[in-house]
Structure 1
Amino acid sequence: MNTGLVAAKDIFTLPTPRIFTIPPATSFLDSLARTLSETLNLQDDPAALADAVIFCPNKRSSRAIAQAFHVLATEKYGHKALIAPEIRVLGDLEDDHTIAPIGVSELELGPPLSPSKRRGALANLVQKFRAEDPLPPSSALTVADQLGSLLDQAAMGEGVDWSKLETLVDDADLAKHWQLSAKFLEIVGEYWPAHLDEEGATDPMARRVAAAQALANNWHNKPPKHPIIIAGSTGATPATRLLMQAAMNLPQGAVVLPGLDPDVSEDAWSAIASSPSHPQHTLQRALGKLGVDKSHVIKWPGAVETPNNEARRKLINEALAPASTTKDWTDRLKVLSGAESPKHLVESGLKGLTLIEAEDESEEALAAALLLREALETKGKTAALVSPDGSLVRRVSALLTRWGVEIDPSSGTPFLQTPHGALFALMFQWLRDEGDPVQMLSLLKHPLVRIGWDEENYQSALIELEAHADEFGKDSIMRGPRRHDSLEELADKLGMNKRAQSAQLIRDLVSATRQCEIRPSTMQKPIDGNSFARSIARLAERLVTTPAETGSTRLWRGSVGAEAARYLEALAEISQELGEVAPDLWGEFAEAIASERAIPPRGGEHPRLAIWGPLEARQQMRDVIVLASLNEGAWPAAAAADSFLPRRLRKKLGLPDPEERLGLSAHDFAQLACAPDVKLLRSKRVDDKPAVASRWLWRLRTLSAGGLGSPEAVDEALHPTPQNDPLVWARAMRKARTYAPAQPPAPKPPIDARPTVFSVSRVATLIRDPYAVYASDVLKLKPLAPVGADSGPAGRGTAIHAAVERYEIEGGDIMRLINEELKAAGETTTAIELNRPLWSRAADAYLVWRNEREPRVREKKLEIKGSITFEVSGRKYILHAKADRIDLLKDNTFAIIDFKTGTPKTKKQLETGLEPQLPLEALIAHGGGFEKLPAADTSELIYVSLAPGAASTKADNGKPVKLDEGPMAEAQKARDGFLRLIHSYSTLSQAYYSKPRAEFTWAVSDYDRLARRDEWTLDAGADA
Structure 2
Amino acid sequence: MPGRLKKAPELYTLASHTSFVDGLVRGIRCRFGDDPLTLSDVLILLPNRRAVRSLRDAFLRASGGKSLILPRIEPIGDVDEDDLFLSGNLMQGTWERELAPPIPPFMRQMLLMDIINRWSHKSEGSVPEIAQCAILARALGQFLDHVQTERLTFKDLENLVPSEYANHWQKTLDFLRILTEHWPDILAPTGFSDAAIRRNILLDGLREQWLENPPSHPIIVAGSTGSIPATADLLGVVSCLPQGMVVLPGLDLFMDDISWDAIDDTHPQATMKHLLSVIRADRDVVKNWLDDDIPDHRRARNDLLREVMRPAETTDQWRFLDLDLTAATKGFSRIETPGPREEAGIIALMLREALETDGKTAALVTPDRQLARRVAGEMKRWDILIDDSAGTPLFNTSAGVFLRLTAQMIGEGAAPVPLLSVLKHPLCTGGQEVGYFRKMTRLLEEYILRGPRPGAGCTGISTAIEMALTKRKNSKNSLKNPASNISAITNLQNLKDWWQTTSDLIMPFEQTMAQKDASFEALLIGHIDMAERLCASHDKSGAERLWQGDAGEEAAKFIEDLHQAALYLPRLKSENYPALLDVFMGGITVRPKYGQHPRLNIWGPLEARLQHADLVILAGLNEGAWPPEPPADPWMSRPMRKDFGLPSLEQKIGLSAHDFLQAASAPQVVLTRSEKMDGTPTVKSRWLSRLDAVAPDISLQASPSWLAWYRMLDLPLEKKDILPPRPTPPVTSRPRKLSVTGIQKWMQDPYSIYARYILKFKVLDPLDADPGAADKGTIIHDVLDDFMGKYSDHLPDDAKAALIDIGRQKFENYMDRPAVRAFWWPRFVHVAEWFVEQEKKRRPYHKTTATEIEGHMAFDLPGGEFILTAKADRIDQLADGSYSIIDYKTGRSPTERKIYAGYAPQLPLEGLMAEGGNFDGLKAGPVSDLSYWQLKGGEDVAEITSFNLSARNKMDVTEVIKASFDGLTRLVTSFDLEDTPYLNNPRPDNLGYGEYDHLARAREWQGKES
Shared fold, TM over 0.5: yes
Unaligned runs of 5+ in 2: 471-488, 792-800
1:147 alignment partner AA: L
- Alpha-carbon separation, structure 2, partners of 1:907 and 1:491: 44
Matching residue of 2:841: 852
Matching residue of 1:1007: 996
Which of 400, 404, 422 is 2:379 aligned to?
400
- Alpha-carbon separation, structure 2, partners of 1:568 and 1:186: 33
Which of 981, 1005, 1009 is 1:991 aligned to?
981
1:953 alignment partner AA: V
- Alpha-carbon separation, structure 1, partners of 2:751 and 2:630: 58
- Whether 1:953 aligns to 2:946 is no
Q: Secondary structure at the match of 2:379?
A: helix
- Alpha-carbon separation, structure 1, partners of 2:1005 and 2:730: 25
Asked if the contact 2:84/2:195 (under 8 Å) is kept, the reply is no
Which of 132, 135, 139 is 1:139 aligned to?
132
Matching residue of 1:612: 603
Which of 871, 881, 894 is 1:892 aligned to?
881
- Whether 1:536 aligns to 2:527 is yes
- Alpha-carbon separation, structure 1, partners of 2:678 and 2:910: 55
- Alpha-carbon separation, structure 2, partners of 1:262 and 1:126: 48
Matching residue of 2:452: 481
- Alpha-carbon separation, structure 1, partners of 2:101 and 2:438: 51
- Alpha-carbon separation, structure 1, partners of 2:370 and 2:520: 32
Cα deviation, residue 632, structure 1: 1.4
Is the alpha carbon distance of 1:166 and 1:20 closer, same or farther for their aligned partners in structure 2, counting shifts above 3 Å? closer
Is the alpha carbon distance of 1:905 and 1:160 closer, same or farther for their aligned partners in structure 2, counting shifts above 3 Å? farther
Cα deviation, residue 462, structure 1: 4.1
Asked if the contact 1:51/1:86 (under 8 Å) is kept, the reply is no
Matching residue of 1:737: 717
Equivalent residues in 2 for 1:919-934, closer than 5 Å? 919-934=908-923
Matching residue of 1:159: 152
Q: List per-residue Cα deviations over 1:975-1024 (Å, max 9, x = no partner).
A: 444344344434444432211233555x64221111001211279xxxxx
Equivalent residues in 2 for 1:84-483, closer than 5 Å? 84-91=71-78, 95=86, 97-101=88-92, 106=97, 110-131=100-121, 133-159=126-152, 163-164=156-157, 167-170=160-163, 172=164, 174-186=165-177, 189-193=180-184, 195-197=186-188, 199=190, 201-272=192-263, 275-302=264-291, 304-331=293-320, 333-334=321-322, 342=323, 345-432=324-411, 435-462=414-441, 465=444, 476-483=447-454
TM-score computed with the length of structure 1 as normaliser: 0.88
Cα deviation, residue 168, structure 1: 3.1
Q: List per-residue Cα deviations over 1:376-426 (Å, max 9, x = no partner).
A: 111111111111111111121222223232221002222233222222122
Q: Which moved more, 1:642-651 or 1:306-315?
A: 642-651
Q: Secondary structure at the match of 2:518?
A: coil
Matching residue of 2:798: none
Matching residue of 1:624: 615
Q: List per-residue Cα deviations over 1:685-714 (Å, max 9, x = no partner).
A: 221222222111121122123xxxx2xxx1
Matching residue of 1:4: none
- Alpha-carbon separation, structure 2, partners of 1:439 and 1:422: 12
Equivalent residues in 2 for 1:777-816, closer than 5 Å? 777-810=757-790, 813-816=802-805
- Whether 1:507 aligns to 2:486 is no
Q: Secondary structure at the match of 2:620?
A: coil
Matching residue of 1:673: 664
Q: Which moved more, 1:891-900 or 1:280-289?
A: 891-900
Cα deviation, residue 663, structure 1: 0.9
- Alpha-carbon separation, structure 1, partners of 2:927 and 2:177: 84
Unaligned runs of 5+ in 1: 1-10, 335-341, 469-475, 1020-1024
Which of 50, 55, 59 is 2:45 aligned to?
55
Matching residue of 2:647: 656
Q: Secondary structure at the match of 2:253?
A: coil
2:870 alignment partner AA: A
Asked if the contact 1:35/1:301 (under 8 Å) is kept, the reply is yes
Cα deviation, residue 933, structure 1: 3.3
- Alpha-carbon separation, structure 1, partners of 2:103 and 2:332: 46
Q: Which moved more, 1:795-804 or 1:354-363?
A: 795-804
1:168 alignment partner AA: V
Is the alpha carbon distance of 1:291 and 1:166 closer, same or farther for their aligned partners in structure 2, counting shifts above 3 Å? closer
Cα deviation, residue 351, structure 1: 0.7
TM-score computed with the length of structure 2 as normaliser: 0.89
- Whether 1:910 aligns to 2:890 is no
Is the alpha carbon distance of 1:579 and 1:104 closer, same or farther for their aligned partners in structure 2, counting shifts above 3 Å? farther
Which of 18, 25, 35 is 2:17 aligned to?
25
Cα deviation, residue 788, structure 1: 4.4
1:380 alignment partner AA: G
Asked if the contact 2:642/2:648 (under 8 Å) is kept, the reply is yes
Q: Secondary structure at the match of 2:872?
A: strand
- Whether 1:684 aligns to 2:666 is no
Q: Which moved more, 1:214-223 or 1:496-505?
A: 496-505
Question: Over aligned residue pairs, what C-alpha RMSD do you find?
Answer: 3.1
Asked if the contact 1:233/1:257 (under 8 Å) is kept, the reply is yes
Q: Secondary structure at the match of 1:287?
A: helix
Asked if the contact 2:304/2:328 (under 8 Å) is kept, the reply is yes
Cα deviation, residue 629, structure 1: 0.8
Cα deviation, residue 885, structure 1: 0.6
Matching residue of 1:760: 740
Asked if the contact 1:93/1:99 (under 8 Å) is kept, the reply is no
- Alpha-carbon separation, structure 1, partners of 2:949 and 2:137: 71
Is the alpha carbon distance of 1:325 and 1:160 closer, same or farther for their aligned partners in structure 2, counting shifts above 3 Å? farther
1:533 alignment partner AA: L
Q: Secondary structure at the match of 1:20?
A: strand
- Alpha-carbon separation, structure 2, partners of 1:831 and 1:584: 25
Asked if the contact 2:160/2:644 (under 8 Å) is kept, the reply is no
- Alpha-carbon separation, structure 1, partners of 2:878 and 2:296: 106
Asked if the contact 1:760/1:879 (under 8 Å) is kept, the reply is yes
Is the alpha carbon distance of 1:631 and 1:164 closer, same or farther for their aligned partners in structure 2, counting shifts above 3 Å? same
Is the alpha carbon distance of 1:692 and 1:245 closer, same or farther for their aligned partners in structure 2, counting shifts above 3 Å? same
Asked if the contact 1:166/1:182 (under 8 Å) is kept, the reply is no
- Alpha-carbon separation, structure 2, partners of 1:673 and 1:522: 56
Is the alpha carbon distance of 1:492 and 1:957 closer, same or farther for their aligned partners in structure 2, counting shifts above 3 Å? closer
- Alpha-carbon separation, structure 2, partners of 1:14 and 1:370: 53
Cα deviation, residue 113, structure 1: 1.6
Matching residue of 1:82: 69
- Alpha-carbon separation, structure 2, partners of 1:922 and 1:402: 62
Q: List per-residue Cα deviations over 1:804-834 (Å, max 9, x = no partner).
A: 212222358434433444467x775766555
1:682 alignment partner AA: R
Q: List per-residue Cα deviations over 1:532-563 (Å, max 9, x = no partner).
A: 22222222222222343333344334433321
Q: Which moved more, 1:55-64 or 1:690-699?
A: 690-699
Asked if the contact 1:156/1:656 (under 8 Å) is kept, the reply is no
Q: List per-residue Cα deviations over 1:870-904 (Å, max 9, x = no partner).
A: 45545444433211011112233322211122233
Q: Which moved more, 1:791-800 or 1:619-628?
A: 791-800
Asked if the contact 1:900/1:944 (under 8 Å) is kept, the reply is yes
Matching residue of 1:473: none
Is the alpha carbon distance of 1:958 and 1:117 closer, same or farther for their aligned partners in structure 2, counting shifts above 3 Å? farther
Is the alpha carbon distance of 1:618 and 1:743 closer, same or farther for their aligned partners in structure 2, counting shifts above 3 Å? same
Asked if the contact 2:75/2:86 (under 8 Å) is kept, the reply is no
